[in-house]
């Protein structure tokens, strides 16, 4: 009953409608964070790897940097059925030998006096919501297993039909604006990317992943580049007084590539994934398996399949397709004919003041011109771990560790990043 009351209160504040423009402007939500952030990477080989074929390459090598970053954002209250959000993020390199920060932060200010710096527009959108239909126009983070980038575009969702949710997305370009990365936004060909899908809830609570069952069908495509179609199914149930829960996810998607386009992959491909997931109180564990085809994930991974940490860590853990951080999982993302076996866990203690995440997996794959060269029978193990501790209500520390090891045919990489964050 207490959780139900909390949900009703949160829904009220999220969708409180104001009849005057001043009331809507003054009763919004601010998002301000200041973070001192550092990154260190050690690699057995230097170079670049390809995230997709639109130029989202990543540098690997030996180096590190320290940044100061500030994020400012404000979301108004609803003026009748409309609200507006705007945000910015700026970062300045304080310690940056050999311009190593440029692997994560696009130096779009070109400031030669102060050194490498970057500033970008974050989530900024106009939103319409009437209780059943939601529409966003602008720059936003779609909530999707297939997307962990910000997109500039239009998003539509409707839940007016019983147990059925319809979603559609048009994305003109994509990029990332976060404390750990600021990228330039890259256009998705001449027409943009389209994504349409339906989700039918068979049983349970639509708002509770741990006690629901649904099937989801979708299509994602860029005209003259690729067409992807897929289906996903989810089932989960609480038991023993809702202290324990267990669930199963299953998904398959295929991509037909237009091989004449320079942004398409050389072969058609697929992605299959399944996981068993369950938990007790504040500890959740999943065991999963993934397999892909002749071009790895191909264009299915164009917007960053995996852990959408920008969309909120708690959401991403349950809805991800692969378990690694957005800067990890290179083998399963780009290796062809890959097979990944993994285990992952999310834990929280001391009334959510201490949160931790750990994932470990082994990937067996063949190389391609995108990652691993022409080497066959490659393997790579990977460990990702995150810990976040709230010192006070507004001050916290966060750290990520990524380590690939026991690799055969590809470089091993160790990466440590984290910082101190002040939010108010």
Q: What is the pLDDT of residue 53?
A: 76
Opening angle at CA 278, ends 274 and 280, nearest 5? 165
pLDDT greater than 90 at residue 21: yes
CATH number at residue 245: 2.40.160.10
pLDDT greater than 80 at residue 371: no
Q: How many domains does the structure of the chain reveal?
A: 1
Q: What is the pLDDT of residue 129?
A: 96
Q: What is the pLDDT of residue 314?
A: 66
Q: What is the pLDDT of residue 179?
A: 92
pLDDT greater than 60 at residue 400: yes
Tell me if the pTM is above 0.85. Answer: yes
pLDDT greater than 60 at residue 11: no
Lowest-pLDDT range of 185-199, 238-252, 364-378:
364-378
CA distance 329 to 407: 13
User: What CA dihedral angle connects 205, 207, 213 and 218, to 10 degrees?
Assistant: 140
Q: What is the pLDDT of residue 115?
A: 59
pLDDT greater than 90 at residue 40: yes
Q: What is the pLDDT of residue 109?
A: 54
Q: What is the pLDDT of residue 81?
A: 95
Of residues 53 and 338, the one with the higher pLDDT is 338
What is the tens place of the pLDDT at every residue in 46-104?
A: 877 777 777 677 788 999 999 999 999 999 999 999 999 999 999 999 999 888 988 88
Q: What is the pLDDT of residue 9?
A: 39
The DSSP output letter for 97 is G
Q: Which of 317, 265, 275, 250 is nearest to 296 (CA)?
A: 265
pLDDT greater than 60 at residue 397: yes
pLDDT greater than 80 at residue 313: no
Q: What is the mean pLDDT of the chain?
A: 89
Burial of 13 (0-12, 13-18, 19+ CB in 10 A): exposed
Burial of 34 (0-12, 13-18, 19+ CB in 10 A): middle
Q: What is the pLDDT of residue 306?
A: 65
For residue 139, what are the contacts with CB-CB under 8 A and spacing of at least 6?
Answer: 121, 122, 123, 124, 125, 150, 151, 152
pLDDT greater than 50 at residue 5: no
The pairing of strands 17-18 and 78-79 is parallel
Taking the CB of residue 180, how many other CB atoms lie within 10 A of it?
Answer: 23
Burial of 86 (0-12, 13-18, 19+ CB in 10 A): middle
- Tokens 């399963």 locate to 332
Q: Are 128 and 111 in contact (CB under 8 A)?
A: no
Q: Are 174 and 141 in contact (CB under 8 A)?
A: no
pLDDT greater than 50 at residue 310: no
> Which residue range(s) make up the domain with 152?
2-423
Sign of CA dihedral 360, 366, 370, 371: positive
Taking the CB of residue 6, how many other CB atoms lie within 10 A of it?
Answer: 10
Taking the CB of residue 157, how many other CB atoms lie within 10 A of it?
Answer: 19
pLDDT (mean) for 235-243 = 89
Which 3 state secondary structure label does DSSP give 26? helix
Q: What is the pLDDT of residue 13?
A: 45
Of residues 99 and 166, the one with the higher pLDDT is 166
pLDDT greater than 90 at residue 403: yes
pLDDT greater than 80 at residue 116: no
pLDDT (mean) for 322-335 = 89
């Amino acid at each position: 009953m207490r959780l139900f009351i909390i949900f009703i209160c949160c829904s009220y504040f999220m969708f409180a409608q104001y009849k005057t423009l001043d009331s809507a402007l003054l009763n919004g939500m601010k998002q301000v964070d200041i973070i001192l952030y550092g990154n260190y990477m050690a690699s057995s080989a230097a170079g670049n790897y390809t995230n997709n074929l639109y130029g989202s390459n990543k540098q690997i090598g030996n180096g590190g940097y320290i940044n100061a970053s500030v994020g400012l954002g404000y979301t108004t209250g609803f003026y009748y059925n409309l609200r507006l959000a705007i945000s910015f993020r700026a970062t300045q390199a304080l310690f940056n030998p050999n311009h190593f920060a440029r692997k994560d932060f696009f130096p779009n200010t070109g400031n030669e006096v102060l050194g490498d710096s970057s500033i970008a527009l974050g989530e900024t959108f106009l939103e319409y919501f009437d209780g059943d239909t939601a529409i966003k126009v602008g720059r936003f983070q779609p909530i999707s297993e297939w997307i962990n980038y910000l997109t500039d575009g239009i998003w539509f969702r409707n839940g007016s039909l019983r147990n059925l949710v319809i979603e559609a997305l048009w994305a003109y370009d994509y990029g990332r604006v976060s404390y750990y990365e600021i990228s330039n936004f890259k256009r998705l060909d001449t027409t943009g990317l389209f994504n349409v899908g339906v989700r039918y809830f068979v049983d349970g609570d639509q708002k509770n992943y741990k006690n629901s069952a649904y099937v989801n069908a979708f299509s994602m495509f860029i005209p003259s580049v690729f067409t992807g179609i897929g289906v996903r199914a989810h089932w989960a149930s609480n038991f023993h007084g809702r202290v324990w829960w267990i669930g199963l996810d299953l998904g398959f998607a295929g991509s037909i590539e237009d091989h004449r386009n320079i942004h398409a992959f050389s072969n058609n491909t697929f992605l299959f994934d399944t996981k068993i997931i369950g938990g007790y109180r504040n500890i959740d564990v999943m065991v999963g398996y993934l397999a892909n085809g002749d071009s790895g994930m191909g264009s299915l991974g164009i917007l960053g399949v995996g852990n959408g940490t920008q969309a909120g860590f708690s959401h991403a853990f349950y809805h991800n397709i692969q378990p690694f951080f957005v800067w990890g999982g290179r083998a399963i993302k780009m290796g062809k004919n890959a097979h990944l076996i993994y285990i992952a866990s999310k834990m929280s203690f001391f009334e959510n003041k201490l949160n931790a995440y750990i994932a470990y997996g082994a990937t067996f794959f063949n190389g391609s011109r995108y990652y691993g060269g022409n080497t066959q029978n490659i393997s790579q193990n990977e460990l990702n771990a995150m810990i976040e501790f709230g010192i006070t209500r507004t001050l916290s520390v966060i750290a990520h560790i990524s380590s690939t090891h026991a690799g055969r045919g590809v470089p091993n990489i160790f990466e440590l990043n984290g910082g101190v964050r002040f939010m108010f």
